[in-house]
Amino acid sequence: MRTVITGGAGFIGSHLCDYLIEKGHEVICIDSLLTGKAENIGHLIGNNHFRFIKHNVSDYIYIDGHVDNVLHFASPASPSDYLELPIQTLKVGSLGTLNSLGLAKLKRAKFLLASTSEVYGDPQIHPQREDYWGHVNPVGPRGVYDEAKRFAEAMTMAYHRYHKIDTRIVRIFNTYGPRMRINDGRALPNFMYQALRAKDITVFGNGLQTRSFCYVSDLIRGIYQLLISDEHEPVNIGNPEEISVLQLAKEIVALTGSKSKIVFKTLPVDDPKVRQPDISKTKKILGWEPHVSREDGLRNTWIYFQDVLQKTDDASVNKST
Ligand code: UDP
């Protein structure tokens, strides 16, 4: 199996590279390194089942030889990233998806789109099932990501229906774990950073908005199961255990024994009030459900972030001496 992963140096993409290499695939990772990081794939350099191409997939993608799978994971994915990179986010969701689908068509490869729970916007149906069409503000600041992914889904289904490409769409809910950028602006890394540095923990709004956090190894296993399934319609993958953002902040303070205090800041525009995947379809067609508890997942992530900050501190000490 020869598999192209766009966004392969990102948080989720790099875990997919590892997983597929373990499954015997030859992986070609394409990443512009705009939000992805070379460190995430550093351990794979020199592996003869791995190749890295630094390229922005919003521009034409050229790959020689045959390709069996194209997995399109390239995109800024944290709200603060896509607010800072609105045009790049729209381009990679539209032109990047078009180029990735074009590659799959040329090579007669299977195509898998990384979509998102953001296609449901600020949902009025709770929990979210795949047949819910969503509640998205197209002209709000989050619209650049939500609409790009909605367009990407439409484009994927068009290539499936018109060009008969063998496609998959995964709607990924909040995911966390090692290789998240500690400064990517999302709640979980922010809270861990703030706890580690004894800074105030910034809960936005009253903190009663909810999310459901899935550990990255569970997500990757689900994506693989979807890839080898026959399902062409979108499938939710996420952990249905729903908690409030305030509860998450409290759990992180308790886990880390931090002296940080929780403070409340303004809620960002169009911030979804609730989010929880309905995974009954996923369970039924993939036999998938998450295994990693939040307690274990948070602990592993905490160990990772401690290590990252330690290395940053060591590097700044070395620089100044
Ligand atoms: N959030 C927060 N404090 C932060 C960062 C985020 O309270 O420092 C909130 C954010 O407003 C949202 C939730 O946490 O309600 C999850 O935000 P995140 O950026 O992780 O991703 P989202 O689920 O909104 O895509």
How remote is the CA of residue 166 from the centroid of ligand 1, in Å?
34
How remote is the CA of residue 301 from the centroid of ligand 1, in Å?
17
**CA–CA separation, 180 and 184 (whole Å):** 7
Nearest-atom number in ligand 1 for the CA of 209 is 15
The 10s digit of each residue's pLDDT in 125-140 is 999 999 999 999 999 9
pLDDT score of 321 more than 70? no
Under 8 Å between Cβ of 167 and 112: yes
pLDDT score of 318 more than 80? no
Nearest-atom number in ligand 1 for the CA of 191 is 8
Which of 186, 208, 265 to mutate for ligand 1's pocket (most ligand atoms within 8 Å of CB)? 186
The 10s digit of each residue's pLDDT in 203-250 is 999 999 999 999 999 999 999 999 999 999 999 999 999 999 999 999
Range list of β-strands (E), 98-188: 110-116, 167-172, 175-176
How remote is the CA of residue 228 from the centroid of ligand 1, in Å?
32
Query: Burial, 316: exposed, middle or buried (Cβ in 10 Å; 0-12, 13-18, 19+)?
Result: exposed
The 10s digit of each residue's pLDDT in 12-40 is 999 999 999 999 999 999 999 999 999 99
Under 8 Å between Cβ of 193 and 249: no
Q: Whole-angstrom distance between the N-terminal and C-terminal Cα of the chain?
A: 49
Residue 314 — very low, low, confident or very high, per pLDDT cuts 50/70/90? confident
Neighbours of 240 (CB within 10 A): 18
Q: What CATH architecture is 2-179+213-239+272-292? A: 3-Layer(aba) Sandwich (3.40)
pLDDT at 313: 84
How remote is the CA of residue 268 from the centroid of ligand 1, in Å?
9
Q: Give pTM, 2 decimals.
A: 0.97
The residue whose C-alpha atom lies closest to atom 25 belonging to ligand 1 is 79
Pick the catalytic residue from 60, 82, 132, 145: 145
Name the region of 207 (left: φ>0; alpha: ψ -120 to 50; beta: rest).
Answer: left
Q: Answer whether 202 contacts ligand 1 (Cβ < 6 A).
A: yes
How remote is the CA of residue 270 from the centroid of ligand 1, in Å?
11
Domain extent listing, the chain? 2-179+213-239+272-292
The residue whose C-alpha atom lies closest to atom 18 belonging to ligand 1 is 186
**CA–CA separation, 115 and 168 (whole Å):** 10
The 10s digit of each residue's pLDDT in 50-82 is 999 999 999 999 999 999 999 999 999 999 999
Mean pLDDT, rounded, for 183-212: 97
Which of 78, 175, 211, 276 to mutate for ligand 1's pocket (most ligand atoms within 8 Å of CB)? 211
Q: Summarize the chain as % helix, strand, coil (round to 5).
A: 45, 20, 40
Range list of β-strands (E), the chain: 2-6, 26-31, 50-54, 69-72, 110-116, 167-172, 175-176, 201-204, 210-212, 214-215, 234-237, 242-244, 262-265
The residue whose C-alpha atom lies closest to atom 5 belonging to ligand 1 is 187
The per-residue pLDDT of the chain, averaged, comes to 97
pLDDT at 316: 77
Q: Which residues pair with 265 in a beta bridge?
A: 204
Q: Is 145 a catalytic residue?
A: yes
Q: Answer whether 211 contacts ligand 1 (Cβ < 6 A).
A: yes
Range list of β-strands (E), 205-305: 210-212, 214-215, 234-237, 242-244, 262-265
Q: Which residues pair with 204 in a beta bridge?
A: 265
pLDDT score of 194 more than 80? yes
Which of 12, 173, 196, 204 to mutate for ligand 1's pocket (most ligand atoms within 8 Å of CB)? 204
The residue whose C-alpha atom lies closest to atom 21 belonging to ligand 1 is 186
Neighbours of 306 (CB within 10 A): 13
The residue whose C-alpha atom lies closest to atom 13 belonging to ligand 1 is 187
Q: Answer whether 268 contacts ligand 1 (Cβ < 6 A).
A: yes
